[in-house]
C-alpha cells in the first residue's frame, strides 16, 4: 500500500533560486516563503551558508533568515558545507541543517571542492556541533542515479555514501537525482541503497525534472514506502555545478499526484499556485509546473 500521508519540503527558496541569474532580493525570498507557509508547507529549505564566491545568489542568507517571521510548526532548514558555514548558520537559528555530499567523486570535487571522504571529515564536526545545539541534521546525497561528469552512478556508491553519513550522525537523508536523468526503476535502486542504512521514515526523494520524470519517480518512491519529498514551487531551479540540469519537480505537480492518489499533504493547491505566480511574476517567466499552469488558466 502507498503511504497515507506525505510531507513535502519546498526547496524553492534555496535549490530553486540558487542558480538564478537575476538578483532576487531578500524581501522577495521572504515573500515567497510566507506564501509557501500560507499554502500549508511545514518544511521549507530557506537558504545556504556556502561561499558567496561560489554561489552569489545565497549571499543574503543571514538577511533572509533574520527577516522571516517564524511560524510555529514550520521547520526551516539551511544548507551548510563546513564549520565556517555552520557558525554563520547557528547565529540564524535554523531548525535543521543540511550537509550535502555526492555519490560521485567528480561531482563532489566540482560542487564542494573536495573528495567524498574529505567531505565526510568536514561534516563530522558540523554534525556533532549541530546535534549538541539541538539542531536536526539531514544529509543530501547528490548524483544518486547519474552524474554530469561521470555518467551512470551505481547503487553501491549510494549505499556507501549513506553508510558514511549514518556513521557521522546524520539523522535522515535525501536521495537526489541532481540532473534529473533517473527513471522509476533506477530511482528505486538508489532508494533501496539508502534504505540499507536509514529507516524508510528517514529517507526522502529529491528529483529534478530535466527529463520530465519527476512525477513518475515520486510515484516509484511512494511504492517503496517513502513519504518525504523535496520539490520546488513552480519547478524553479537547478544546481550551478550541474550544467544543463533543470529545476526540481514542481511542488504543484507532486501535490496534484498525491491528492489524486488520496494521499494527505496538508497543502492547498490553489494557494500554492498563488506562491508560484508570485515568484514567476518577479522572475518574469512562466511557471515550469504543468499543474500550476493548468490551474492558473481556469
Interface pick for Mg ion out of 9, 10, 14, 15 (rule CB under 5 A) = 15
Out of 198, 241, 256, 278, name the contact with ligand HMG by CB under 6 A.
241
Size of the site for Mg ion (CB under 5 A): 1
Window of 106-114, 127-135, 155-163, 266-274 that interacts with ligand HMG by CB under 6 A: 106-114
Report the relative pairing of strands 43-48 and 136-142 from DSSP bridges.
unpaired
Cα angle 86, 149, 81; round to 5: 0
Q: Report d(CA 15, CA 167) in Å as an integer.
A: 26
DSSP alpha helices (H): ranges in the chain?
26-38, 61-67, 83-92, 105-112, 116-132, 155-167, 184-194, 214-223, 251-260, 269-283, 290-297
Q: Which does 49 bind (CB under 5 to 8 A by kind): ligand HMG, Mg ion, none?
A: ligand HMG
| Cα gap 90→49, rounded to integer Å | 10
The DSSP 8-state label assigned to residue 13 in this structure reads: I
Binding residue (CB under 6 A) for ligand HMG from 140, 161, 175, 234: 140
Catalytic site positions = 239
Our finding on whether 18 is near ligand HMG (CB under 6 A) is yes
Phi, psi angle pair for 212, to nearest 5°: 75, 20
Among the candidate windows 50-58, 124-132, 158-166, 264-272, which touches ligand HMG by CB under 6 A?
A: 50-58
295 near ligand HMG, judged by CB under 6 A: no
Binding mask 59-98 for ligand HMG (x = CB under 6 A): --------------------x-xx-xx-------------
Angle between helices 184-194 and 155-167 (to 10 degrees): 30
Indicate the SS3 state at residue 79.
strand
Total number of residues that touch ligand HMG (CB under 6 A): 25
Query: In whole angstroms, how close is the CB of 264 to Mg ion at the nearest point?
Result: 25
Residue number with the smallest Cβ distance to ligand HMG? 85
Instruction: Determine if 206 is a binding residue for ligand HMG (CB under 6 A).
Output: yes
Residue with cell 510566507: 34
What is the rounded CA–CA span in Å between residue 231 and residue 51? Answer: 24
**113 interacts with ligand HMG by CB under 6 A:** yes
Q: What is the DSSP letter of 208?
A: B
Residues that bind Mg ion (CB under 5 A): 15
- For ligand HMG, the binding residues (CB under 6 A) are 15, 18, 48-51, 54-55, 79, 81-82, 84-85, 100, 111-113, 140, 142, 176, 178, 206, 208, 239, 241
Amino acid at each position: 500500500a502507498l503511504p497515507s500521508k506525505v510531507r513535502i519540503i519546498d526547496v524553492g527558496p534555496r535549490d530553486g533560486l540558487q542558480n538564478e541569474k537575476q538578483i532576487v532580493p531578500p524581501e522577495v525570498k521572504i515573500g515567497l516563503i510566507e506564501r509557501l507557509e500560507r499554502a500549508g508547507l511545514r518544511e521549507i529549505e530557506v537558504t545556504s551558508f556556502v561561499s558567496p564566491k561560489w554561489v552569489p545568489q545565497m549571499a543574503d542568507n543571514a538577511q533572509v533568515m533574520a527577516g522571516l517571521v517564524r511560524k510555529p510548526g514550520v521547520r526551516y532548514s539551511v544548507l551548510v558545507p563546513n564549520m565556517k558555514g555552520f557558525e554563520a548558520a547557528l547565529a540564524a537559528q535554523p531548525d535543521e541543517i543540511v550537509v550535502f555530499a555526492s555519490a560521485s567523486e567528480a561531482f563532489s570535487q566540482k560542487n564542494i571542492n573536495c573528495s567524498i571522504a574529505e567531505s565526510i571529515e568536514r561534516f563530522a564536526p558540523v554534525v556533532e556541533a549541530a546535534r549538541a545545539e539541538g539542531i536536526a541534521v539531514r544529509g543530501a546525497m547528490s548524483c544518486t542515479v547519474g552524474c554530469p561528469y561521470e555518467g551512470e552512478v551505481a547503487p553501491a556508491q549510494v549505499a556507501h555514501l549513506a553508510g558514511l553519513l549514518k556513521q557521522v550522525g546524520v539523522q535522515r537523508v535525501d536521495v537526489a537525482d541532481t540532473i534529473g536523468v533517473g527513471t522509476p526503476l533506477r530511482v528505486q535502486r538508489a532508494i533501496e541503497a539508502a534504505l540499507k542504512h536509514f529507516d524508510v521514515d528517514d529517507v526522502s526523494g529529491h528529483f529534478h525534472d530535466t527529463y520530465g520524470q519527476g512525477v513518475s519517480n515520486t510515484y516509484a518512491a511512494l511504492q517503496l514506502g517513502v513519504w518525504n519529498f523535496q520539490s520546488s514551487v513552480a519547478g524553479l531551479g537547478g544546481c550551478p555545478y550541474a550544467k544543463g540540469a533543470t529545476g526540481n519537480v514542481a511542488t504543484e505537480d507532486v501535490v496534484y499526484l498525491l491528492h489524486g492518489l488520496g494521499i494527505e499533504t496538508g497543502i492547498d493547491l490553489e494557494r500554492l499556485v498563488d506562491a508560484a505566480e508570485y515568484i514567476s511574476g518577479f522572475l518574469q517567466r512562466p511557471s515550469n509546473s504543468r499543474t500550476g499552469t493548468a490551474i492558473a488558466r481556469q
